[in-house]
């Protein structure tokens, strides 16, 4: 990136820590105890690194526990009780990350909780890192409101403010293209078996659970978005579960409504799949990774990377 990083990890590995210091202008520790363990190394390091602690404001709009860093007992960050004796010497910043695909209004509510728990420490710090989960590229996101919330916070506490947007950068980009390999029917339930795997390629669809938008690209006829959830008593709609190709029984999405019957060879395009998809793929069951391609504006498809058996084998032995 051409500059040093603002680094956070739930727990730094002792054998990586020297190298991490070389790459970091800021280091956020997940606990006071961890900071105290690494502090002698940071202080002995030739260059100044600004240290902070992750806090848990115990407030989050995220209801799914898997994605809620503020859930009771969360291992992510310290609750206010950890600072009963004030801030440890040398700490210059505080960090929280409790948003997920959230609005500026969610941030505003989170800041109120953060101030309630940690406000007494803010006069002593130089910076506050408000983590990620700010979906500022989504249609309708009130960026003017975000700016005013951040300005007010900065002015009130005299701190630098950092944000770590991740998915906002890749929002509504990147599709995963699958091909229908078979249509399976079991006592009235039809499943389109595809050449992808939800557990292997899109684990969030099972974990969150998150329903991807799917577009049907038939071999003949129009490209049509599917309807989800299927309309009640939908006339002329075809219902299909979408099945993955792994052995996991739950490797499927419940029914989507299609405007026409699916045929083997049709394409199903999973929309907006780049964030939390490419980085989370596994080679579970030996299911092949999709190729990574770039579709240029002139229609050319460039293949950047293809995966095969060797990639699977080389990870294992
Ligand atoms: C500490 C931290 N910062 C930033 C992010 C990026 O969040 P998002 O991609 O939702 O903006 C994450 C994601 O989990 C995170 O844990």
- The pLDDT of residue 218: 97
- The pLDDT of residue 278: 76
Determine which residue's CA is closest to atom 14 belonging to ligand 1.
132
Q: Is 165 in the pocket of ligand 1 (CB under 6 A)?
A: yes
Confidence of residue 115 (pLDDT cuts 50, 70, 90): very high
Determine which residue's CA is closest to atom 13 belonging to ligand 1.
132
- The pLDDT of residue 203: 92
Residue 275 has pLDDT above 80, yes or no: no
Q: 224: CA distance to ligand 1 center in Å?
A: 33
Lowest-confidence range among 1-5, 43-47, 73-77, 257-261? 1-5
Give the rounded percent of residues in the chain with a pLDDT score beyond 70. Answer: 100
- The pLDDT of residue 137: 96
- The pLDDT of residue 200: 94
Q: Is 97 in the pocket of ligand 1 (CB under 6 A)?
A: yes
Residue 221 has pLDDT above 80, yes or no: yes
The candidate with the shortest Cα–Cα distance to 121, out of 74, 78, 73, is: 78
Q: Is 131 in the pocket of ligand 1 (CB under 6 A)?
A: yes
For the full predicted model, state whether its pTM sits above 0.85: yes
Q: 100: CA distance to ligand 1 center in Å?
A: 8
- The pLDDT of residue 228: 93
pLDDT for 89-101, tens place per residue?
999 999 999 999 9
Confidence of residue 64 (pLDDT cuts 50, 70, 90): confident
Residue 280 has pLDDT above 90, yes or no: no
The candidate with the shortest Cα–Cα distance to 253, out of 289, 216, 288, 209, is: 209
Q: Is 95 in the pocket of ligand 1 (CB under 6 A)?
A: no
Contact at 8 Å (CB) between 81 and 32? no
Q: Which residue has tokens 């506050």?
A: 128
Domains of the chain, CATH where assigned? 5-169 (3.20.20.10), 176-287 (2.40.37.10)
Determine which residue's CA is closest to atom 12 belonging to ligand 1.
132
């Amino acid at each position: 990136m051409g500059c040093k990083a603002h680094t956070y990890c739930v727990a730094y590995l002792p054998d990586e820590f020297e190298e991490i210091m070389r790459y970091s202008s800021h280091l956020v520790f997940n606990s006071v105890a961890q900071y105290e363990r690494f502090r002698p190394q940071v202080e002995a390091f030739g260059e100044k690194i600004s240290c902070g602690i992750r806090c848990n404001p115990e407030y989050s709009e995220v209801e799914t526990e898997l994605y809620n860093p503020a859930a009771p007992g969360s291992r992510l960050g310290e609750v206010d009780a950890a600072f009963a004796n004030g801030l440890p010497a040398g700490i210059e910043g505080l960090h929280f990350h409790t948003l997920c695909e959230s609005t500026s209004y969610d941030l505003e509510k989170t800041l109120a909780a953060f101030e309630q728990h940690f406000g007494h420490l803010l006069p002593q710090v130089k910076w506050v890192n408000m983590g990620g989960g700010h979906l500022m590229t989504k249609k309708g996101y009130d960026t003017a409101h975000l700016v005013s919330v951040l300005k007010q916070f900065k002015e009130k506490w005299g701190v630098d403010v950092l944000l770590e947007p991740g998915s906002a950068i890749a929002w509504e980009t990147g599709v995963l293209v699958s091909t229908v390999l078979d249509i399976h029917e079991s006592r009235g339930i039809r499943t389109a078996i595809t050449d992808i795997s939800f557990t292997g390629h899109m684990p969030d669809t099972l974990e969150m659970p998150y329903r991807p938008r799917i577009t049907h690209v038939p071999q003949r006829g129009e490209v049509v978005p599917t309807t989800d959830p299927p309309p009640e008593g939908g006339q002329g709609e075809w219902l299909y579960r979408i099945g993955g190709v792994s052995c996991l029984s739950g490797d499927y999405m419940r029914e989507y409504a299609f405007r026409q019957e699916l045929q083997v060879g049709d394409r199903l395009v999973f929309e907006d799949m780049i964030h939390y998809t490419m980085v989370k793929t596994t080679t579970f069951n030996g299911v092949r990774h999709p190729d990574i391609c770039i579709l240029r504006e002139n229609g050319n498809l460039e293949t950047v990377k293809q995966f095969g058996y060797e990639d699977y084998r080389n990870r294992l032995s």
